[in-house]
């Protein structure tokens, strides 16, 4: 029922008639103070574990060792040799934990042919260092337009996208047809096999 302007209050003409709901109920009050306990004069269905005991009680498992729930039953302790094996298995192969290579070993690894061949120009994804170039000023404005154009949706997976990717990896080429919205996960994948990704996104734009 909704009260409207002009309606009479529900208690009109009841002055002195309405009585407290608990009037005449002995021992029961509206507050917690003075209420009768729900379990008064009721017996517990279980025995109290420390009934009749005085002083500080000793914990039931004081002085007991780890007891395996499988092979070793009936309270038999697991032998120390087996406990050590379980511990080592749980730790796994961590023989290098807390240890470090010697300086000579570090230098040897740095100067190895494997590391030299992966440095900068020798890396298969090397593009002349264009990734370190700053974004042009106009990219900030065009980025908002691209996000709105793509409805803030990743054009690869369909999830929410907040990043704009240059299809040809050229930061200076800020034409709308060279920009596409991606999510963080899909954008991180474009760092590898760049030519394949370029062809993939160009074909996707042609289909649209």
Between 89 and 193, residue with greater pLDDT? 193
Residue 181 resides in a domain: yes
Summary mean pLDDT of the chain: 76
Q: How far apart are alpha carbons 124 and 133 in whole angstroms?
A: 19
**What is the C-alpha radius of gyration for the chain, rounded to an integer number of angstroms?**
38
Contact 180, 205 (CB under 8 A): yes
Please give the structure tokens belonging to residue 22.
């608990």
Residue 69 resides in a domain: no
Q: Tell me the per-residue pLDDT of 33-85, one tens digit each, with 9 for 90 and over.
A: 666 677 676 666 667 777 777 777 777 777 766 555 555 555 556 788 888 88
Tally of domains in the chain: 1
Between 3 and 172, residue with greater pLDDT? 172
Full-model pTM: 0.41
What is the mean pLDDT of the segment spanning 165-169?
A: 91
Q: Tell me the per-residue pLDDT of 115-140, one tens digit each, with 9 for 90 and over.
A: 666 666 666 666 666 666 778 888 88
Residue 33 resides in a domain: no
Residue 145 resides in a domain: yes
Residue 185 resides in a domain: yes
- Structural domain range at position 169: 134-207
Residue 38 resides in a domain: no
Residue 9 resides in a domain: no
Residue 179 neighbours by CB under 8 Å, 6+ apart: 142, 143, 146, 164, 165, 166, 167
Residue 49 resides in a domain: no
Residue 149 pLDDT class (50, 70, 90 cuts): very high
């Amino acid at each position: 029922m909704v009260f409207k302007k002009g309606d009479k209050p529900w208690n009109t003409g009841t002055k002195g008639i309405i009585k407290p709901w608990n009037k005449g109920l002995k021992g029961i009050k509206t507050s917690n103070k003075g209420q009768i306990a729900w379990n008064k004069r009721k017996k517990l269905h279980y025995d109290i574990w420390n009934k009749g005991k005085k002083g500080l009680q000793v914990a039931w498992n004081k002085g007991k060792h780890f007891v395996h729930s499988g092979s070793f039953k009936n309270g038999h302790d697991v032998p120390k040799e087996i406990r050590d094996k379980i511990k080592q298995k749980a730790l796994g192969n961590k023989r290098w934990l807390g240890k470090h290579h010697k300086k000579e070993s570090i230098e040897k690894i740095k100067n190895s042919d494997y590391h030299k061949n992966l440095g900068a120009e020798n890396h298969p994804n090397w593009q002349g260092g264009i990734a370190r170039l700053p974004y042009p000023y106009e990219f900030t404005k065009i980025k908002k337009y691209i996000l709105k154009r793509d409805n803030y949706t990743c054009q690869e997976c369909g999830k929410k996208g907040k990043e704009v990717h240059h299809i040809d990896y050229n930061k200076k080429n800020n034409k709308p047809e060279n920009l596409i919205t991606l999510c963080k996960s899909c954008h991180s994948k474009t760092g590898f096999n760049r030519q394949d990704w370029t062809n993939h996104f160009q074909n996707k734009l042609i289909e649209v």
